[in-house]
Amino acid sequence: MYNILICDDEKDIVRALKIYLTNPDYQMFEAYNGEEALEIVKREEIHLILMDIMMPQMDGITAMKKIRIDNNVPIILITAKSEDVDLVNGLNNGADDYITKPFNPIEVVARVKSQLRRFMTLGGGNPQKKLISIQGIELDDQLKKVTQDGEELKLTKKEYEILRFFMIHPNCVYSPNEVYEKIWHEPAIGNDANTVAVHIRHIREKIEIDPANPRFLKVVFGQGYILERGRD
């Protein structure tokens, strides 16, 4: 699994790139200015960044320079044809490649695959582990199997994906709408938060000794859900 950060102040651009890059091996993160991108890079293990040049609050070049202080993750700049000077500046300050608006979807996918392949071949990073273990819960992402203290748990596909998401991001709080959008890959509307709540309840019934007083998957009042790593 590769973590890809898409950073652009135009939500339609972010949405389009997510569609182009739809792939079960890619986990998408979104940011809408350079400051948000920096926060995600600090919090998550990112394997590739698509970064717009012209953004409010902090532009892409400034954000890239800050990222480059201690991170060699591949950065592909998103640029308009009118931004040639900024593009040259970006390439001179650490960008690995660029794509120009309007995008050719085939080219976008090819450039992303090329940079990920190069980065991993050179030992710059490692894809997320296929085996994740937290306090006796073990998720094998290759076999798509979850065990607890050696006993296999029977999860539905969505239950598996939700549990996997929280195990990849332990000790992080996510709202019901955020969980829905990450797992269902569409905007959350209406009763979608209730859909997430139902799935969370079913997961608790399978992993918790007392689902009403969970040890693992907990509610943070007014914010969302968290899977607490604790001590293995």
Residue 65: give its domain's CATH number: 3.40.50.2300
Instruction: Give the separation between CA 172 and CA 229, rounded to whole angstroms.
Output: 10
Confidence of residue 118 (pLDDT cuts 50, 70, 90): confident
Confidence of residue 122 (pLDDT cuts 50, 70, 90): low
Instruction: DSSP for 32-51, please give it.
Output: SSHHHHHHHHHHS--SEEEE
CA angle at 4 for the pair 203 and 6, rounded to the nearest 5°: 110
- How many C-alpha atoms does 214 have within 13 Å on its Cβ side? 19
**145 and 85 within one domain:** no
Instruction: Give the separation between CA 37 and CA 50, rounded to whole angstroms.
Output: 10
Average pLDDT over residues 200-227: 92
Average pLDDT over residues 176-191: 88
Point out the domain boundary residue: 121, 145, 163. Answer: 121
The pTM score is: 0.55
Q: Is 232 inside a domain boundary? A: no
Q: Is 83 inside a domain boundary? A: yes
Q: Is 155 inside a domain boundary? A: yes
Yes or no: say if 182 and 165 are a contact pair by the CB < 8 Å rule: yes
Q: Specify the pairing of strand 48-52 against strand 2-7.
A: parallel
What tokens appear for 12 in the block?
A: 């339609």
Quick one: pLDDT at residue 130?
66
The domain in which residue 176 lies consists of 131-227
Confidence of residue 205 (pLDDT cuts 50, 70, 90): very high
Quick one: pLDDT at residue 129?
52
Point out the domain boundary residue: 121, 144, 161. Answer: 121
Quick one: pLDDT at residue 230?
63
Quick one: pLDDT at residue 133?
87
Confidence of residue 83 (pLDDT cuts 50, 70, 90): low
**186 and 136 within one domain:** yes
Yes or no: say if 51 and 27 are a contact pair by the CB < 8 Å rule: no
**205 and 114 within one domain:** no
Quick one: pLDDT at residue 232?
47
**Does residue 141 carry a pLDDT above 90?**
no
Tally of domains in the chain? 2
